[in-house]
Amino acid sequence: MATKGDLRLSYGGYGIYGGINGMQYNLAGAFFGAMPRIPGGLSPTFASAFEVKSFCQTKQIQMMFIYYVATLASCQVHLQSVMRYKLNRCHVMEVESFENEDVARLLNDWFVSIKVDREERPDVDKVYMTYVQATQGGGGWPMSVFLTPELMPMVGGTYFPADDKYGRPGFKSILRRVKEVWDTKKDAIRHNGELIVQQLAEATTSSASSAELALDSSQEAVELCAKQLAKGYDAKLGGFGGPPKFPRPVELYVIMRQYRRLHQAGKTAAASKVLEMALHTLRCMAKGGIHDHVGGGFHRYSVDEYWHVPHFEKMLYDQGQLVNAYLDALCITKTPVYANVARDVLDYLKRDMLDPEGGIYSAEDADSLEREGLARKKEGAFYVWTSQEIEDILGKENAEPFMKFYYVKHNGNCDLARLSDPHGEFVGKNVLIERMELEELSAAFKRPVEDCAALLGSCRTDLFDYRSKRPRPHLDDKVIVAWNGLAISAFARASKLLTVEPKGISHHFPVVGTNLTEYLHIAERASSFIKGKLYDDATKRLRRSFRKGPSMAPGFADDYAFLIAGLLDLFEAGGQTKWLAWALELQETQDALFLDKTGGGYYSTPEGDSSILFRMKEDYDGAEPSPNSVSAINLVRLSLLAHGDQSKYFHNTAEHLLAVFESRIKELPVAVPLMCCAADLLGVPSKRQIVIAGQKQSPEFQELLNASHGLYDPYKIVIPIDPSDTEDQEFWHKFNPAVLAMAQNTPTGKATVSHPMPLCKA
């Protein structure tokens, strides 16, 4: 956020920039002056840069630095800018403003500038994003918030151009105005900031008046949510609401849950109508430009209603959740198209996003160079095509059917909607989108359907090889625990659910037909990576992320919740008790760090971080589900695996959590779809334990395990167990002897289905 030559001190997701002039010398001095006063401190005068950095990481004083700066610079306002580095506007603002000499001069003279990586410090982002949304009516990134020296918010917003334009003030004008107001109204600004923070804290830290969830809340939650979603359903193009269209998998989860409820009640016509909302949306997304037809995976969102022109970044959290949605659709319909899309995404992750040691990287940028040697990156440059390129690569004979199928036009195809390309960025460019069915292509070119599918697959392979020579978008090779948890779930479930594909199905690139055991192996390696590099066996705590070493940021509630969910799926898929044991260990730590034992529910951040103005209990299920929604489902699943008092504890903790958000579930269920699924899971009386006994690697055992997973039944828990295995015996004897007894009384290669008795109120 300053000009070249400035000092940057960056630890734990924070970057503190001080220009080497005037007052800023003293700010840097405050930091270094603090070091000898820390217990075990060292003198920065005689220490190497490596020793200084190591000391800071060991003592975790990155937050204290902000405190010292704030105390010393009490006459200065702080500018905190929260960035998501894959977003185009973050790059634009960085170039326009933070690398601008005039802006840097104003920042260095008047402000203490703090840059935050949103993905590494979501706790900081959530507090100030809540403020921006409450005061501005919306939010997004880049987010800039002006703070008092006590870190109370003054004013905030999202993208600001450097100069005044379009009738809006530019960043330089805003900096001058903030400085002017601060100089004349310090006391009023401080008072207003404290008042707003108090109000936000009260609004985001609800407590339950009762530890019990009303019966109607659990029984009606899914239905209410599905009905609200149906009001915004786009029957023509899929999705819920207008552009920009974001894939929000939790919406699809709750729709498919409602389908099952209706189907089980014998209301087949209503069930089919509800299900079609989810299936049509999944098909439209798979056909659209939001789906990378050449390389696999999904982009972040579509700017138009056709799912056509995307914002081109690829996020790991989207991939994992979408795979699970397509897998659910496969379980319900047994239709190969959903299996192909799930494989497409997983094979993309396997090829492009795996760390050599097993972790799964977090994202790929939207921008890249059109060709080497150019100075400026462009949105989507890696992914778009001219018609001439396609003809040259494929040859005219193959290009003709390919271009027809994917709506490729000589003057570009970003013309389906007014919002597809409002600024003319993609004139002459094509974003591949399926605008016809394979059967139509077959009829048009008088070739068998399978021949057409093979031709398109071969063409995609040729385009992939050509595209691989282009400058790639930047790879964010951070390994984030929460997002890895979502991916672990997807890989683990896929290793069992994809066995329901019809035999003899042909796979075409970018699906490579990965052996399903390899998907399970990827899930296991990712779990081992986190356990080995981001988990402290002594404290039982997680770190948030890994890049060239563990981050200093602690694990947050979503890291624990999403990882536990992934580990439970991994246990159900493979039956290794070590993953279930670790999930139980993590749940205990999550409860110790984040659970409001009096009021119910989980805070997103651990207690004791003075730099966080207030602790929030998140409930919104957006691009990522809320940690409370995922935790509620985890707790119910654990209650089905455990027995006795421990089972009651998990059940009652889940119910207390859901009671916190009961009014939200009733009044605005569309904001909390996964929370509605959790309430439904808690209240449904037909939950099942499926205990499969036998030697886990035997064909009979695996066949039965696959069949059990292939059922779409969100109310079941699958327990693979070998009663002759010493490790299994020891674990289940201690954890749930009733399950061990069931397994011992089940013939080898058979399954026992148990319906646990409803738990009594403790």
pLDDT tens for 532-552 read 999 999 999 999 999 999 998
Give the mean model confidence (pLDDT) for residues 201-223.
Answer: 77
Confidence of residue 67 (pLDDT cuts 50, 70, 90): very low
pLDDT of residue 161: 78
Mean pLDDT of the 468-491 span: 98
The reported pLDDT for the residue numbered 66 is: 43
Tell whether the model's pLDDT for residue 158 goes beyond 80.
no
pLDDT of residue 87: 61
Cα distances (Å, whole numbers) of residue 182 to 93, 111, 154: 24, 11, 9
Amino acid present at 28: A
Residues 487 and 316: beta-carbon distance below 8 Å = yes
Whole-model pTM: value is: 0.87
At residue 2 the predicted structure's pLDDT band, cuts being 50, 70 and 90, is very low
Residue 505 CB neighbours (<10 A): 11
Domain 7-204: give its CATH superfamily: Glutaredoxin (3.40.30.10)
Question: What percent of the chain stands above pLDDT 90?
Answer: 65
Question: Residue 57's pLDDT is what?
Answer: 52
The answer to whether 638 and 648 have CB atoms below 8 angstroms apart is: no
Tell me if 567 sits within 8 A of 579, measured CB to CB: yes
For residue 61, the model assigns a pLDDT of 40
Q: What is the mean pLDDT of the chain?
A: 86
Question: What average pLDDT does the segment 471-491 reach?
Answer: 98
Contact 101, 2 (CB under 8 A): no
Share above pLDDT 70 across residues of the chain, in percent, rounded to a whole number: 86
Q: Which tokens in the block code for residue 325?
A: 């949605």
- Residue 542: phi and psi, rounded to 5, are -100, 155
pLDDT of residue 167: 74
The pLDDT-based confidence of 662 (bands split at 50, 70, 90) is: very high
pLDDT at 140 over 80: no
pLDDT tens, position by position, 277-333: 999 999 999 999 999 999 999 999 999 999 999 999 999 999 999 999 999 999 999
Of 159, 116, 161, nearest to 136 by C-alpha is: 159
Q: Above 70 in pLDDT, residue 579?
A: yes
Going by pLDDT thresholds of 50, 70 and 90, the confidence category of residue 23 is very low
DSSP 602: B
Going from N- to C-terminal start, the domains of the chain cover 7-204, 239-476, 687-762
**DSSP states along 122-188:** HHHHHHHHHHHHHHHS---SSEEEEE-TT--EEEEES---SS-BTTB--HHHHHHHHHHHHHH-HHH
pLDDT class of 65 with cuts at 50, 70, 90? very low
Is the model's pLDDT at 45 over the cut of 50?
Answer: no
